[in-house]
């Protein structure tokens, strides 16, 4: 076995968060491949190529990738309260001021860029659709464009049978940033709740996350509050997240492996509503444990460029790049058959990430100041 070099606990924790950024963004891109599959129509006794495509895409995009955004909420909550010795008005205002540059300004700018990009494509078409596009923007209003322009998941219900739709701004992936802004704004409430209730409060939020009994209000998702508070718990109570999550790592690993299989099998059914949340929680803990394990033994290392480019890729990949790559692939190969579909499923995200990464490197070289504003000085 490879000899383990001594690393401080804080250094390992920092490296774990930095290393995970890029792989998690890859999963986010796969989520937005948005494959349409019907797992209930699969014949497991005689799997066809189409069945294999459905299983792979459902497992990766609908299930496995579900840990990506919760992980980012955990990291955000942990880092927001990291090394905080006290909480008062001045500290709150100082943190909010810094988040204006790291969260709010990038959030507004990327939504504007998305609007301009799509308007430009409409203009290029020369079919008059640009006016319909702008009329739609005006009808929905500025607040909806920057907060809840899109709505999906109308079939999702909580344990009480209430419909729980999802909402996103014009640049859809930025719903995470929107919910993070809300969590940060309400950080005094989160701080005192976590401080007073300790682990009991996190368990309570976990139950609400599992049952989805929560506010049906854009920006106030239980996913954000639960996982942000979970990350905050470790910082507020002075616990090293890596050490704490490792305590029952084998149990969490087994739960993650079992539930990812079950959740894939029941993907698209009501049964999965009670399996998927368990997978997400166990998957988040397991992926953090796995990354820290590999980093500790130096099987992997942090690539600074990939870590820093992650936010840029996250914000830009759905702005024409992913769709254009998909259309280009279809035009060149004219996909027919399950083998080509599987190749497309993995190739399109890889090309989109590569193009986004190239744009990041180009901007870093030519217009670094603008890039810093767009990425919140990350």
Residue environment code for 236-247, b if the CB has 16+ CB neighbours within 10 A, otherwise e: beeeebbeebbe
Angle at 361 (CA atoms; ends 104, 103), nearest 5 degrees = 10
Q: Residue 7: what pLDDT?
A: 52
Q: Residue 6: what pLDDT?
A: 41
3-state helix, strand, coil in the chain (%, to 5): 75, 0, 25
- Mean pLDDT value across the chain: 91
Question: Position of tokens 């090394």?
Answer: 83
Q: Residue 332: what pLDDT?
A: 82
Whether pLDDT at 131 is above 60: yes
Condensed to tens digits (0 to 9), the pLDDT of residues 176-190 reads: 999 999 999 999 999
* C-beta atoms surrounding 287 within 10 Å: 21
Q: Which of 127-141, 158-172, 341-355 has the lowest mean pLDDT?
A: 127-141
Structure tokens at 304: 């600074």
Altogether, the residues listed in the chain come to a count of 378
* C-beta atoms surrounding 76 within 10 Å: 22
* Contact status, residue 302 vs residue 18, Cβ threshold 8 Å: yes
CA 75 → CA 9, 118, 215, 229, 352, distances in Å?
Answer: 16, 32, 23, 10, 25
* Contact status, residue 261 vs residue 104, Cβ threshold 8 Å: no
- Separation between Cα atoms, residue 258 and residue 235, nearest integer Å: 30
- Separation between Cα atoms, residue 102 and residue 378, nearest integer Å: 8
Considering only CA atoms, give the Rg of the chain: 21
Which residues face 150 on adjacent strands? 168
Q: Residue 335: what pLDDT?
A: 63
Secondary structure tally for the chain: helices H, strands E: 16, 2
Q: Residue 4: what pLDDT?
A: 39
Q: Is 119 left (phi over 0), alpha (psi -120 to 50) or beta?
A: alpha
Whether pLDDT at 129 is above 80: no
Q: Residue 221: what pLDDT?
A: 94
Q: Residue 122: what pLDDT?
A: 80
- Separation between Cα atoms, residue 249 and residue 247, nearest integer Å: 6
User: Rounded mean pLDDT of 17-46?
Assistant: 92
* Contact status, residue 255 vs residue 278, Cβ threshold 8 Å: yes
The answer for residues whose C-beta is within 8 angstroms of residue 371's C-beta and 6 or more apart is 312, 360, 363, 364
- Separation between Cα atoms, residue 293 and residue 143, nearest integer Å: 44
- Separation between Cα atoms, residue 368 and residue 300, nearest integer Å: 28
pTM of the predicted model as reported, rounded to 2 decimal places: 0.93
Condensed to tens digits (0 to 9), the pLDDT of residues 196-221 reads: 999 999 999 999 999 999 988 999 99
User: Sign (positive/negative) of CA torsion 145, 102, 352, 63?
Assistant: negative
Condensed to tens digits (0 to 9), the pLDDT of residues 321-372 reads: 999 999 888 888 776 778 888 999 999 999 999 999 999 999 999 999 999 9
Angle at 225 (CA atoms; ends 83, 8), nearest 5 degrees = 30
Q: Residue 216: what pLDDT?
A: 87
Please name the residue ranges forming H helices in 32-128: 49-57, 68-80, 89-99, 105-125
Whether pLDDT at 168 is above 80: yes
- Separation between Cα atoms, residue 48 and residue 54, nearest integer Å: 10
Condensed to tens digits (0 to 9), the pLDDT of residues 310-326 reads: 999 999 999 989 999 99
* C-beta atoms surrounding 254 within 10 Å: 13
What string of DSSP letters covers 203-266? HHHHHHHHHT-S---TT--HHHHHHHHHHHHHHHTT--HHHHHTTTHHHHHHHHHHHHHHHHHT
Condensed to tens digits (0 to 9), the pLDDT of residues 250-296 reads: 999 999 999 999 999 999 888 899 999 999 999 999 999 999 999 99
Phi, psi (degrees; rounded to nearest 5) at 90: -65, -40
Question: Position of tokens 């130096």?
Answer: 298
3-state secondary structure of 342: helix
């Amino acid at each position: 076995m490879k000899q383990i070099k001594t690393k401080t606990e804080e250094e390992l924790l920092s490296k774990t968060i930095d290393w995970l950024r890029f792989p998690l963004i890859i999963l986010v891109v796969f989520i937005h491949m948005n494959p349409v599959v019907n797992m209930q129509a699969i014949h497991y006794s005689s799997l066809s190529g189409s069945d294999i495509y459905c299983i792979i895409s459902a497992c990766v995009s609908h299930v496995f990738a579900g840990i990506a955004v919760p992980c980012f909420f955990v990291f955000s909550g942990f880092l927001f309260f990291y090394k905080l010795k006290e909480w008062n008005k001045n500290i709150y205002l100082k943190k909010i001021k810094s988040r204006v540059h790291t969260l709010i300004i990038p959030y507004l700018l990327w939504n504007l860029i998305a609007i301009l990009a799509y308007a430009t494509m409409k203009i290029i078409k020369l079919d008059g659709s640009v006016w319909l596009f702008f009329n739609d923007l005006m009808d929905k209003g500025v607040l909806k464009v920057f907060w809840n322009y899109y709505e999906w998941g109308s079939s999702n219900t909580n344990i009480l049978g209430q419909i729980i739709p999802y909402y996103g701004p014009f640049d859809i992936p930025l719903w995470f940033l929107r919910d993070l802004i809300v969590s940060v704004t309400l950080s005094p409430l989160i701080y005192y709740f976590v401080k007073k209730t300790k682990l009991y409060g996190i368990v309570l939020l976990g139950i609400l996350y599992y049952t989805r009994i929560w506010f049906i209000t854009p920006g106030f998702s239980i996913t954000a509050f639960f996982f942000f508070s979970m990350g905050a718990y470790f910082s507020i109570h002075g616990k090293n997240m890596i050490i704490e999550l490792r305590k029952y790592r084998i149990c969490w690993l087994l739960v993650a492996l079992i539930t990812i299989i079950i959740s894939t099998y029941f993907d698209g059914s009501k049964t999965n509503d009670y399996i998927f949340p368990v997978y997400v929680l166990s998957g988040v803990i397991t992926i953090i444990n796995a990354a820290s394990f590999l980093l500790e033994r130096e099987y992997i290392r942090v690539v600074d460029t990939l870590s820093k480019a992650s936010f840029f890729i996250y914000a830009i990949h759905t702005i024409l790049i992913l769709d254009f790559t998909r259309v280009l692939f279809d035009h060149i190969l004219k996909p027919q058959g399950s083998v080509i579909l599987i190749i497309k499923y993995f190739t399109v995200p890889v090309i989109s990430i590569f193009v986004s990464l190239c744009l990041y490197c180009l901007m870093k070289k030519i217009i670094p100041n603008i890039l810093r504003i767009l990425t919140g000085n990350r």
